Structure 1
Amino acid sequence: MLSWFSSFFTQIENFFGTPKLLFDGWQSTARITLTTILLYIILIVLLKIFGSRSVSSFSVYDMIATITIGSVISSTLVLKEINLINGMVAIVVLLILQFSLSKVVTKWEGLYPFANPTPKVVFYKGEFKTGSMKKARVNKEEIYSAIRREAGTTSDNVEAVLLEPNGDLSVIKNISPEYENEITKYM
């Protein structure tokens, strides 16, 4: 059965004149299978050590780490030139960088704006902030949708809508005067 399978694909490849287009032999298939299983287990262990924040959308640097880790994983799985140890080392280095940056930004809050965008007020006290909306590439319909989804109301019952650093729209229904600066500092 297995020889028929490989023979069938070889015939198709020969017909089109493109060797190893569909099938590169059982050795490479076994390598990818074994590497996938091992890398999956290693990634579970590493994420247990470094925390699930490494693969969430909390911040820009978390997102960069997530995308880069995904790229390293895919390269390790399918490219013969990258072995399991090299892929694992790259993932560990990325997780250490992401973990270190999150610790630095937590310790020195003044660095936060350099590692993450700040929230943007896109709607405030019945008024759309068109300048912020253009910079954030957010339109009125997205704001209305967030108000309905998050607050279950209409714009006349909402004080503010902010675009958060992770791309979510936060809807604020009530702002007490003594805490108004928590919102207005992002205008």
Structure 2
Amino acid sequence: MEEYFIIIIRTLFLYGLIIVIFRIMGKREIGELSILDLVVFMMIAEMAVMAIEQPDDPIIHTVLPMGVIVFVQILFAWLSLRSKSFRELLDGKPSVIIHNGKIDDRGMKKQRYNYDDLLLQLREKDIFNLADVEFAILEPSGKLSVIKKEAQTPHSLTLPLVLDGQIQSSHLDMIGKTAFWLRKELKDRGFRDIQEVSFCSFQDGEFYIDKKDR
């Protein structure tokens, strides 16, 4: 019975301690947490679990390393506020994925960011046509910031016909077109090899084509 009482007391104490720690470390939305923030939170949570599961172990063995982690995190946060280089080293820096309507394939590969990720995040912002995007910036948190081209109005869903040099046959079927038609249209626009095309979509009789970077 005494063991259960100790576990309950430890649980309540650690619960309160973790709340205090997170308040000290500052408020941040889950989607804005950096990799370092996530690692720190996971370490603190794991320490709390171990302290609850091992009631015979002195509580100081948990509180001390938690305090060290909080101190280091606050120190790093202080250094980040005063040094852009240090901040970029810890959190990374934004990457321009689309610049002046042109997709940066190298930037996407460097961030291990694919077209599925890009299209998904654009749809979440009610943007269904890549041609409507002037700038897209991938933030260190993984969020996508988008600046649309001027005078753009909502469109119907635009399906990609080519992704990374691969024809999307299922999407062609959905719009009643064939691969032969697509190759001919691309050839008429100076693309003799489908592998030259990074992205291609078709809407209202207009093509949006992005050529692969060499």
TM-score (norm 2): 0.59
Pair 1:38–1:98, CA change in 2 (3 A): same
Q: Which runs of 5 or more structure 2 residues have no equivalent in the other structure?
A: 151-214
Aligned letter for 1:117? Answer: G
Q: 2:138 aligns with which of 163, 172, 186?
A: 163
Give the CA RMSD over aligned residues: 2.7
Equivalent-residue separation in structure 1 for 2:87 and 2:118 (angstroms): 26
Q: Which runs of 5 or more structure 1 residues have no equivalent in the other structure?
A: 1-25, 176-187
Equivalent-residue separation in structure 1 for 2:111 and 2:37 (angstroms): 20
Aligned letter for 1:112? Answer: R
1:84 matched to which residue of 2? 59
Q: 1:141 aligns with which of 116, 119, 125?
A: 116
1:35 matched to which residue of 2? 10
1:75 matched to which residue of 2? 50
- Classify the secondary structure of the residue corresponding to 1:137: coil
Displacement, 1:81? 5.9
Pair 1:42–1:31, CA change in 2 (3 A): same
Q: Deviations over 1:35-91 (max 9, x none)?
A: 111100122233334433498743333222222212222222213464323212222
Q: Deviations over 1:19-45 (max 9, x none)?
A: xxxxxxx55444332211110012223
- Classify the secondary structure of the residue corresponding to 2:85: helix
Q: Deviations over 1:158-187 (max 9, x none)?
A: 112222111222222259xxxxxxxxxxxx
User: Is the 8 Å Cα contact of residues 55 and 63 (structure 1) preserved in structure 2?
Assistant: no
- Classify the secondary structure of the residue corresponding to 2:125: helix
1:64 matched to which residue of 2? 39
Pair 1:120–1:50, CA change in 2 (3 A): closer
> Which structure: greater strand fraction?
2
Structure 2 residue 115 is the aligned partner of structure 1 residue 115: no
TM-score (norm 1): 0.67
Q: How many aligned positions are there?
A: 150
- Classify the secondary structure of the residue corresponding to 1:159: strand
Pair 1:160–1:95, CA change in 2 (3 A): same
Pair 1:82–1:174, CA change in 2 (3 A): farther
Structure 2 residue 154 is the aligned partner of structure 1 residue 154: no
Deviates more, 1:28-37 or 1:154-163: 28-37
Identical aligned residues as a percent: 23
Structure 2 residue 31 is the aligned partner of structure 1 residue 48: no
User: Is the 8 Å Cα contact of residues 25 and 73 (structure 2) preserved in structure 1?
Assistant: no
Q: Deviations over 1:75-132 (max 9, x none)?
A: 2221346432321222222112111101111112232222221122223333332222
